[in-house]
Structure 1
Amino acid sequence: MAKSDKTSSATDQRESGRLQVISAIRKAEEIARIDIAKITDFSPATVTSITSELLSAGLIEEVAVDEATRDTKRGRPRVALKIRGAAHWVAGIKVSNKTATVALMDFEGHTFAEFETPLPKSQLSGEDMVDFILHSLETATSEAGISISDLSGLGVGVAGIIDALRGFVYWSPSMTERNVDLRDMLENVIPLPVFIDNDANLVAKAEQLFGMGKSHRDFIVVTIEHGVGMGIVIDGQIYRGTRGCGAEFGHTKVHLNGALCRCGQRGCLEAYVADYAVLREASIVASSMGDETSEKKLEELFNAAKAGDPLAKSIFQRAGTMFAMGLANIVNIFDPELIILSGERMQFDYLYADEVLEVMKKSVVQIDAPLPQVKIHKWGDLMWAKGAAAYAMEGVTEHAIRKISQDAQS
């Protein structure tokens, strides 16, 4: 191996070690050096060296341990380490079918400002999307009393098929064009590193850092909004697939040559369970759906089903059965510890009613072991935006760790 290759390998190992240590600190919130060593399997000397670098870089800080809770018998040190919130500020934007939500977050993960604005149209061109995101970010930072230059990174979550590594949008229902270099376009007008991913992946990231997935290494998030998405966490990492479309649960096929999906294909799960699919079927069987908004129509249809209307009940029963089969397929393929159902449509229980979950249980491979837990988390758009901010925080952390290596070599 050439000398430069050895240097590069050693640098990569040091960066990996720093990332593991800062990740352990972030997850614990406050933690002593000796406990970091136990979690990472690093020697106490290595932990001391790495944490000294992180302290010098201003990424972490020491805090006093509460003497009332300190374990004196074990000789626990009088200081613990935590993420330094003021080290960096990041922004996260969730673009939905009608609005964009912005969350501004410090490096510790605390949201200090939020903002929501309607989309000018349900679908935007690439250039219009860039202008809209820039305007939303400018407005949000202005209302928070800061400027964009005070931020260290921007995370963007959009529905569709995204190559997160390239920041490339293959297809999104929010955009009129396919194959858009959205990250490059944004970085041309916003003086920040930009991190883009599928919005369901960012919900999984938010669950991992702040929500029900915090104590799990393997879990799956299924999101039900205008469409159906899925975020997969395997061994603590988001799984995206080779092309960025490895978790398109809504576009798995459940009916050959079936209902038309908004992606352009037929028979997708989303074409049977998403809100537009439910309303489309309702408009076929009902004489009139009125002139209300889609949210109002869905609420009226749901109330009619609860009141015993046979047509309304049949629509939701069909959607629930399709969804149960989809969940059963997830269990049979991934066998996760936990499935989290999240999104705006969690206000209606037709996709997670007891009878739906019973259909799922009957359709999975039967063995003498407990099935994965299924939990409901009724998060709104702000939590999606927090997931985008958390994704930006990860990217900013990696940049900061890389800078430590560069400074050490200079």
Structure 2
Amino acid sequence: MIQTGDQFLVKKINKSIVLETIKKKSPISRIQISETTGLNKSTVSSLVNELIQENFVYEIGLGQSQGGRRPLMLLFNNTAGYAIGIDIGVNYLLAVLSDLKGNIIHETMLTITDLPFEEIVDFLKKTIQSLIDQAPSSNYGIIGIGIAVPGIVDDTGKILFAPNLGWENVDLKGIIENHFRLPVTINNEAKAGAFGEKIFGAGKDVSHFVYVSVGIGIGTGIIINNELYKGYNGFSGEMGHITIEANGKKCLCGNRGCWELYASENALLEQAKTLSIPPAPDEKEVTLSHLVMLADTGNTDVIQLFNQVGEYIGLGLTTIINTFNPELIVIGNKLTSAEKWLMNPIKRVVESRSMRFHRKQLRIQFSNLNMYSTVLGTISFAIDDFFASTRITL
């Protein structure tokens, strides 16, 4: 629906500008908001008063004088409500409760290996309810739930295909919304990871970057001109399924020789089985953390295994570099724990195979957010939806 430029729309735009300014720059005074936004003082004062009444903003006392009276400073009320973020991986479920600035209040990590959809939904409902019960009292309560999955999600939030989970045409959004009567957003986990890095991580001040989620599979989230690129139908970023071996292994997506079959956590664990590496004493199967520990203690077979996987990661990154010419590539998800053993082979392959013009100013780094890029992205989506009624996009 096209909104006409009447006085109500103008007020809504101005209120959105004032709130976003306070969120980003608080503590800030009314006069500073006026100077920053160009809005006149009376408009700012009126809008700030409304935001105070709505409990999104509050006064925290007097600031330093700039030559006149000391100004009253304003702060965004990040505890006016709380959001829940869920990252559903192939073998884990990470759930967090955060305030309206993404500060994590509680978190839960569950193992969900090889569980059917119904059991995962049951776990999900119990976990969400537990976080709701732990949420502090607030004016707006739980403002929304953001969920990320490793699969193709359409614009309505329906999960069309998640091959590594064995899901197809799943309306998880409807199931959770009907159960909790709360707004729910569903997104691809790599896109959520890219958004999390843009808001909270390495991508804060970067206009063009690609987030590469390396877990059981591989997905990518693409930021172009500071915006998350979704593609025509919202399906962009399935770089884990680019072909790197023409006659390679069969993939669950239906293709052969997909990148994620050679460069993911799953590829690492499958190769570890061929080396007959025993699991840790308290575990049934070899895990990534156990392999990292073995490499750290000098196990040459495992070190070579990481080197091989790192080279394959570098091979796929070369395609990304030559295609998108990013300023930054951020590698996230579970393989961040193996950065020490992966970074050198990745860089070695990238430097030998990518076009020199494209990599001249490129940076490659592992995420400082570790496992939290995606879940923080889901929270940001939920918070954005909550404030959508106060924000105007021109």
Give yes or no for the alignment of 1:160 onto 2:173: no
Aligned to 2:167, what secondary structure does the other structure show?
coil
1:392 Cα deviation (Å)?
Answer: 1.0
CA distance in 1 between partners of 2:202 and 2:55 (Å): 30
1:179 match: 169
Alpha carbons of 1:59 and 1:176: their partners in 2 closer, same or farther (altered >3 Å)?
A: same
Give yes or no for the alignment of 1:251 onto 2:248: no
Letter in 2 for 1:168: K
1:22 match: 19
2:124 match: 133
Give yes or no for the alignment of 1:238 onto 2:232: no
CA distance in 2 between partners of 1:340 and 1:294 (Å): 29
Aligned to 1:327, what secondary structure does the other structure show?
helix
Aligned to 2:357, what secondary structure does the other structure show?
coil
Alpha carbons of 1:223 and 1:15: their partners in 2 closer, same or farther (altered >3 Å)?
A: farther
CA distance in 2 between partners of 1:312 and 1:60 (Å): 53
Give yes or no for the alignment of 1:110 onto 2:109: no
Letter in 2 for 1:187: E
1:188 Cα deviation (Å)?
Answer: 1.2
Alpha carbons of 1:128 and 1:184: their partners in 2 closer, same or farther (altered >3 Å)?
A: same
Q: 2:133 aligns with which of 142, 145, 149?
A: 142
Contact 1:306 1:313 (8 Å CA) reproduced: no
Q: 1:226 aligns with which of 212, 216, 225?
A: 216
1:54 match: 51
1:264 match: 254
Alpha carbons of 1:116 and 1:297: their partners in 2 closer, same or farther (altered >3 Å)?
A: closer
Partner deviation per Cα, 1:25-46 (whole Å, 9 max, x = no partner) = 3333433455556665666666
CA distance in 1 between partners of 2:332 and 2:69 (Å): 40
Name the stretch that deviates more: 105-114 or 5-14. 5-14
Letter in 2 for 1:110: N
Contact 1:90 1:106 (8 Å CA) reproduced: yes
Q: Counterparts in 2 of 1:11-410, with a 5 A limit?
A: 15-33=12-30, 36=33, 47-48=44-45, 50-64=47-61, 66-67=63-64, 72=66, 78-119=71-112, 121-125=113-117, 127-144=118-135, 150-163=141-154, 165-173=155-163, 175-284=165-274, 286=275, 288-290=276-278, 293-296=284-287, 299-300=290-291, 303=294, 307=298, 309=300, 312=302, 315-349=305-339, 352-367=342-357, 370-382=360-372, 384-399=374-389
Q: TM-score, normalised by structure 1?
A: 0.80
1:20 Cα deviation (Å)?
Answer: 4.3
1:59 Cα deviation (Å)?
Answer: 1.9
CA distance in 2 between partners of 1:30 and 1:15 (Å): 22
CA distance in 1 between partners of 2:2 and 2:371 (Å): 45
Contact 1:204 1:220 (8 Å CA) reproduced: yes
CA distance in 2 between partners of 1:350 and 1:261 (Å): 28
Q: TM-score, normalised by structure 2?
A: 0.83
CA distance in 2 between partners of 1:45 and 1:275 (Å): 57
| CA RMSD in angstroms, aligned pairs only | 3.5
Alpha carbons of 1:383 and 1:180: their partners in 2 closer, same or farther (altered >3 Å)?
A: same
1:333 Cα deviation (Å)?
Answer: 2.2
CA distance in 2 between partners of 1:39 and 1:253 (Å): 49
1:236 Cα deviation (Å)?
Answer: 2.6
CA distance in 2 between partners of 1:354 and 1:65 (Å): 52
Partner deviation per Cα, 1:105-157 (whole Å, 9 max, x = no partner) = 122332222223333x53432x444333211111233355779x931111111
Letter in 2 for 1:135: K
Alpha carbons of 1:59 and 1:179: their partners in 2 closer, same or farther (altered >3 Å)?
A: same
Contact 2:96 2:375 (8 Å CA) reproduced: yes
Unmatched segments (≥5 aa) in structure 1:
403-410
1:162 Cα deviation (Å)?
Answer: 1.5
CA distance in 1 between partners of 2:284 and 2:6 (Å): 57
Aligned to 1:392, what secondary structure does the other structure show?
helix
Aligned to 2:123, what secondary structure does the other structure show?
helix
Partner deviation per Cα, 1:152-194 (whole Å, 9 max, x = no partner) = 111111111112x311111124643301122122111111000
Aligned to 1:215, what secondary structure does the other structure show?
coil
